[in-house]
Amino acid sequence: MIAPGSVLGVLGSGQLGRMFTIAARRMGYRVHTFSPDSDTPTGQVADVEVTAPYDDLDALQAFARRVSVVTFEFENVPSAATSAIEPIVAVRPSPEALHISQQRAREKQFLADRGFPTVPFAVATTQAELASALARIGTPAIVKTAESGYDGKGQQVAGSAAEAGRIWSSLGGQVLVVEKRISLQAELSVIAARGLNRDVAQFPLFENRHRHHILDLTTAPAAVPATVAAQATEIGRGILDALDYVGVLCIEFFLSTDGELMVNELAPRPHNSGHLTFDAAVTSQFEQQVRAICGLPLGSTELLRPAAMANLLGDLWVDGEPDWAAACRQPDVKLHLYGKVTPKPGRKMGHLTAMGRTVAEAQDRVITARDALLRL
Ligand code: ADP
Ligand code: MG
């Protein structure tokens, strides 16, 4: 067991690391963060902020020698970085889980090989393969870069196989994944944790609404039949075991209009759709990550009340600083800001959380509060 008072290392320095750090410090841990940037969302609240590129293996090893365990808060950490650290200190979740989930083609193949339901997909590495993949999967399809995509970046919709040339010239030169475009009834996510002792704890199912491929709103518990929730929970458990996972894992699902549940993607870390657990669950996803990687027993995932979370993107800054007081005028809405200095369209700057007697009430509260930010 890594006891409170020990030092935890985080690779990456965004808002996920920030909220992890807040949870860790509340429990008496110290946190060091490592990333190429300075004055970061995580660095602002960590004990130590190391600024060095991920390929500086000497700096990584020096960082590793000062901490009791290393985790990561985003999945684009190069495998060379985790390999350099592993001989010095435990990396949790494992570098293998990271390796699988940081490349879409590998991740989907891993899931499909083990019988987990995925969106029909094909992999393309040349323009000709892209054309035949589109013909095989059928259009409309969504073409995604296998690596480094997030918040819908590196994605294009293909209306027909004839668009292979256009899409290859905008995304190509790298491995691409072609997916059937699913007619969505809902998007759901499971946030699950597995401890060192292999115990598993899952939060209630979350329901996610996206805008321009970026998460906009999460509500919990998801308004889906109990059979769907049970199926998602079972798949979640199966994936944790298949990865022999230690830590928090998010599994994003599509529920098609035909009622079919499919895994969209995995995130080997806390996830935007779990942010509401910070205010609305007995244990937050961030505290759960601390517990799991430190070998502590997992905490209760019980939801206190129905809850909703609305993201605050940089777009809200169009006319200057949003009116924070107006959002706070709703006394039951919680404001979270990540300490990012430059707002940009699509950039996640913060979020709001509210609870209510019903999901609808919670949702109404966060949306009203978010609207109030711009009503100057
Ligand atoms: P990211 O890594 O950017 O989160 P995702 O694969 O999760 O990438 O895609 C972002 C969003 O785009 C999804 O949450 C969904 O709203 C939409 N989307 C992606 N793939 C599909 C698909 N095959 N069918 C329908 N919608 C999709
Ligand atoms: Mg996603």
| DSSP assignment letter at 344 | -
Place of tokens 């199926």: 231
CB contact at 8 A, 177 and 136? no
Residue with the smallest CA separation from ligand 1 atom 8 is: 152
> 152 in ligand 1 pocket by Cβ < 6 Å?
yes
Instruction: Compute CA distances 367 → 258, 300, 331, 335, whole Å.
Output: 29, 28, 14, 13
CB contact at 8 A, 44 and 104? no
What three-state secondary structure class fits 313? Answer: strand
Alpha-carbon span 1 to 163, nearest angstrom = 54
Question: Does pTM top 0.85 for this prediction?
Answer: yes
Burial 107-116 (b: 16+ CB within 10 A, else e): bbbbbeeeeb
pLDDT of the residue at 292: 98
Q: What distance in angstroms lies between residue 364's CA and the mean position of ligand 1's atoms?
A: 25
Q: Show the DSSP H helices in 43-126 as ranges.
A: 57-65, 79-85, 95-101, 104-113
Ordered structural domains, the chain, with CATH? 7-91 (3.40.50.20), 120-180 (3.30.1490.20), 184-372 (3.30.470.20)
CA angle 35, 36, 37 (to 5 degrees): 90
| Token pair of 188 as six digits | 């759901």
CB contact at 8 A, 71 and 93? yes
Q: Give backbone dihedrals phi and psi of 303, rounded to 5 degrees, phi first.
A: -85, 135
pLDDT of the residue at 376: 61
> 265 in ligand 1 pocket by Cβ < 6 Å?
yes
pLDDT of the residue at 173: 85
Ranges under pLDDT 50 in the chain: none
Alpha-carbon span 361 to 368, nearest angstrom = 10
Residue from 179, 213, 253 to probe ligand 1 pocket by mutation (most atoms less than 8 Å from CB):
213
Alpha-carbon span 112 to 120, nearest angstrom = 10
Atom of ligand 1 at shortest range from CA of 152:
3
Q: Among all ligands shown, which has an atom nearest to the Cα of 256?
A: 1
Beta pairing class for 30-35 and 7-11: parallel
